[in-house]
Amino acid sequence: MPPGRQPALFELEPEPDRWELAAETDCLAAMVVFNRPLDSVYSYLVPDDLREIIAPGQRVRVPFGRGDQLTLGYCVGVTTTVPTHRKLKTLHEILDREPLLSGAMLDLTKWIGERYLSSWGQVLDSVIPAGVKKQAGTRQIVTFELPPDLDLAQLKIPAKQRAVLEVLQQSSAPLTVDVLAERAGCGSSPIDSLRRKGLIVPRRGRSEVAQADVIEVEKQSDLQLNAEQQTALISILEALREQRHETLLLHGVTGSGKTEVYIQAIREVVSYGRQAIVLVPEISLTPQTIRRFRARFPSVAVLHSHLSDADRHWHWQQIAEGKVQVVVGARSAIFAPVPQLGLIVIDEEHEATFKQNSTPRYHARDVARERARRENVPLVLGSATPTLESLQRARLGLDRLLTLKQRVERRPLPHVTLVDTRNDPLISKGQAIGRALGQGIAHALRERGQVILFLNLRGFSPVLWCPRCSGIRCPDCDVTLTWHKDKGLLLCHSCEYSIAPPERCEKCGLPGLRFLGTGTQRLEAEVRTKFPTARLLRMDSDSMRAPGSHDEALESFREGRVDLLLGTQMIAKGLDFPNVTLVGVIDADTLLHQPELRSAERTFQLISQVAGRTGRGDREGRVLVQTMSPMEPVIQFAARHDYDSFAERELEHRAATHSPPFSLMARLILRSLTESSVQAESRRIAGILRQTTAEKNLGVRILGPAPALITKLRKYYRYHLQFTAENHAAIQELWRDAAPRFQLHPDVEMTIDMDPLDLR
């Protein structure tokens, strides 16, 4: 990131008190960056005893700042061209035996810093997993297994020792002392006794029990592709065989077999001895995706946030050693250290979860495009509802558009019925399921079909209402508190603040507060009342906290042990359940009326994606969409599965307002515990930006400052500005020239978000 960001929060390098003189000849310097918003690359003398082992990509400890405090940094280069006009400090310590990143990945992280207006050190600290930095799981663990040909029936040993042997006999892998003792219900003494007798064999290494993501699957053969799939596959294979980079946008309706196209393209990649990276947006999709790929490929690694540090480090090592054919994971898997990359696939490319919401605020799709370009490999973007940015690139000829207009086996797209709930007697009484949807659920259950109900609000009720003061709000955030009946608490979904529900409004003292609105917990209670014999499962971030809970829940639904699945957007995409005959959208208006640039696009995507969960097997599917805005064009387009008409209309609107994808956007967010401070600073910063734009004739349009849509968040008051320009270079130049002049007030913090998806 260019210099000047948050200068009040971090001290720049002062003239230190103690120096070592760099010799004029035969010197080696390490170039070091830090996890701070500073653009500078610092040079340090490498002492003789470290010269043979220093390399770019290693972490180092060096004296930094006033007082030469030892600080962790990242070596990004070594050089013999040592400046002789000034004195250099000496590198203190190298923390890694081998580089954590290759030279190519170092170059990519530098590009990310420049593209997203972040420092190189901040990017490096973000992309290397914590488990890799900590070397988690490398400690040798003692596990135990049975010796070969042990006849347990012939042994005369105490009961507890026998229990230990029986546990090992039933286990498919060696076990640690702790696990063995817990399963056998004993202490360590029986284990020690068995070890001395030679009845159990110690083994040193990494415990396989820690690998929580291991999923046993039956091997499968490739499926027969239809004509559309075959045409798409041929286009991908052309780029693969010609060893050239090309981005291919695979626009296929839900159930059109995009995953099978990915798999058969990867089959070709693996046949060349190369590897593929497959990104998926949701942790809930990962187990299903892993199953599909492990059924076809013998070596598949997974990288996602639910892995332990030890597992993530182990997978990272396996990938770096070339032992993995396919890497499947969420956003950060784009940085997987595959040595021979052959293909990158991003499934459900429209999902907002591919954008990181903390520094560096990169988008995995754009990072994937740059990595694929640098390594000269194809990038495949797949979606039933592509982002308008991706569609526009294809229209301009920058990417190639591939289409799958038919579902596999020519199954019809589900019929979508819009249910106007404005005059529904049940909805007017505060119920979530209207008359038509209730009848549809009853019919589907009678016919032994499965049902999915979608509602993108968690908790029991989203508002505790005071007639005089409106909704009861979090004292630290500008959002209403949500009632979680199971916990007996009002919770803030932004900062986790919680209180017991008051009997009177704490602001005006009025009694008679009411819970309004419906969340997934309230919907669950209503379904249980109306359909008491239905086997019900709720999936949201409250019910799916335990490791493996996503996979367990979806497996229950897949096997028919659950009749009705309800939940938030984690059930809205990518899942394939052939017996689902009805999907109900409880409230299609949730996102539509948000004051956001992309509210219409997200509404269309969400309805289309959740509708696509039905009719994927031999049985036809129906979709009932409850809405109070049935004539809204966006909802009409979604009901007709008419992506092209929606995109045409929305692109016309974006072009008229000079909004993305017809311009590039950046968002500057300032925050402070004092509203007057952040308000004054945001006005001053806006003045500097406008002055710089005018002086250099950059053509950057600056909007604001204004309070953010959520003005107060986690006790901080927030103001923001928006920049729009025709190209990224103009915004880069503005930031590079203006930021050093900011000199922020000590009470104010600042961050910059390039290509923001969330303007709240």
- The full 3-state SS of 551-595, as one line of letters, equals HHHHHHHHCCCCCEEEECHHHCCCCCCCCEEEEEECCCCCCCCCC
The answer to whether 27 is annotated as binding is no
- What is the distance between the alpha carbons of residues 658 and 660, in angstroms, rounded to a whole number? 7
- What is the distance between the alpha carbons of residues 284 and 300, in angstroms, rounded to a whole number? 17
The answer to whether 186 is annotated as binding is no
- What is the distance between the alpha carbons of residues 527 and 54, in angstroms, rounded to a whole number? 63
Encoded amino acid at 556, one letter: S
- What is the distance between the alpha carbons of residues 11 and 21, in angstroms, rounded to a whole number? 24
- Please give the backbone phi and psi of residue 365, each rounded to the nearest 5 degrees, phi first: -65, -45
- What is the distance between the alpha carbons of residues 276 and 634, in angstroms, rounded to a whole number? 36
Q: Residue 416 in 3-state DSSP? A: strand
Instruction: Find where tokens 């009002």 sit.
Output: 490
Residue 441: Cβ within 10 Å count: 23
The answer to whether 75 is annotated as binding is no
Q: Residue 152 in 3-state DSSP? A: helix
Residue 638: Cβ within 10 Å count: 28
Encoded amino acid at 343, one letter: L
Burial 500-531 (b: 16+ CB within 10 A, else e): eeeeebeeeeeeebebebbbbbbbbebbeeeb
Instruction: Find where tokens 């505060």 sit.
Output: 430
Taking Cα atoms as reference points, which of 367, 365, 361, 368 lies closest to residue 756?
361
- What is the distance between the alpha carbons of residues 750 and 760, in angstroms, rounded to a whole number? 15
Q: Which residues pair with 484 in a beta bridge?
A: 489
- What is the distance between the alpha carbons of residues 37 and 315, in angstroms, rounded to a whole number? 30
Residues making up the annotated binding site are 466, 469, 474, 477, 492, 495, 505, 508
Residues making up the annotated binding site for Zn(2+) are 466, 469, 474, 477, 492, 495, 505, 508
